[in-house]
Amino acid sequence: MKQPDRTLVSVLDPFMTEHGFKYVKSRDVYIRKTDSGLDDFSWSSFPLATGPKWRAGYYEGQYGLGLRNDAVEEITRVAMPIYGADNQRYAFTVYRSVGGYFAFDRERDRELCLRFDHLEEDVKETVQRIEAMLSVDGFAWYKRYADPVTLSRDLNDPIATSEAHPLQNNPGSRPLVGVAAACVAEPGRVPELIEAYLNFTSERDKLHAHKRPPEAPDMEKKLLMIVERARELGYEAKAR
């Protein structure tokens, strides 16, 4: 654990502990267990090896909010396996990259920027921004997506986009997680969601036919695996 991280945690910890989070040193993440899974607050940080920022002593990183729904994870992992017990334990279902990509407030939620020669000053200012973000927007985000129906609806909106999504920034993974969430919370929507995702993917396959193999067949296979797994677990989901 590098000095900037140690300083950041020492200042942030009282606030996070007050709100039920526990710091996991091995993962650089704060975890809060919930009835349906867990909430997490995490960051990635790194020294820049070259360039003026390194010479000035900067240390940068991004941070974000994660939420795990155990029921959705149990279904999703049949098509998106995670290897290693520790990785499985801390896997999240949705994640919002707040420090940069999907900031609630662009100015307040900018990336971490900690100067070695002004570390305490910069950490204090950064923690104030993080606490404000969580108090104003972050805790409400956790509460919103604790509701499985809201989780399903927002994950699956919109269908027709290949852009990064504020809940799942991998366009190839979102249909799988979205349909798994629907299996749990909105099983009646599953057939229409599968059809919509496959239609959109098939159209993209046509546009990129000269550049790459089609993706729709593999997606269909994985979506059917997800529905089958959901049915094994007792959910009333159908592919068609």
Query: Which tokens is 170 given?
Result: 């991998």
Q: Quick one: pLDDT band at residue 47, thresholds 50, 70, 90?
A: confident
**Euclidean distance between CA atoms 219 and 192, whole angstroms:** 15
Mean pLDDT, rounded, for 63-88 = 95
Question: What predicted TM-score, i.e. pTM, was given to this entire model?
Answer: 0.92
Q: Residue 20 corresponds to which amino acid?
A: G
Contacts of 30 (CB under 8 A, 6+ apart): 16, 21, 22, 23, 24, 40, 41, 42
Give the other-Cβ count within 10 Å of 233's Cβ.
Answer: 13
Q: What pLDDT shows up at residue 3? A: 81
Find out whether 239 and 191 touch, Cβ atoms under 8 Å.
Answer: yes
Give the three-class secondary structure for 7: helix
Q: Taking 90 as the threshold, does the pLDDT of residue 46 lie above it?
A: no
Contacts of 135 (CB under 8 A, 6+ apart): none
What percentage of the chain has pLDDT greater than the value 70?
A: 95
| pLDDT tens digits, 185-200 | 999 999 999 999 999 9
Find out whether 186 and 230 touch, Cβ atoms under 8 Å.
Answer: no
Q: Quick one: pLDDT band at residue 1, thresholds 50, 70, 90?
A: low
Q: What is the 3-state secondary structure (H, E, C) of 147-177?
A: CHHHHHHHHCCCCCCCCCCCCCCCCCCHHHH
Q: Quick one: pLDDT band at residue 56, thresholds 50, 70, 90?
A: low
For the chain, give the mean pLDDT. 92
Domain extent listing, the chain: 3-146, 159-232
Q: What pLDDT shows up at residue 194? A: 97
Give the three-class secondary structure for 29: strand
Find out whether 30 and 40 touch, Cβ atoms under 8 Å.
Answer: yes
Instruction: Give the rounded distance of the alpha carbon of 46 from its chain centre.
Output: 20
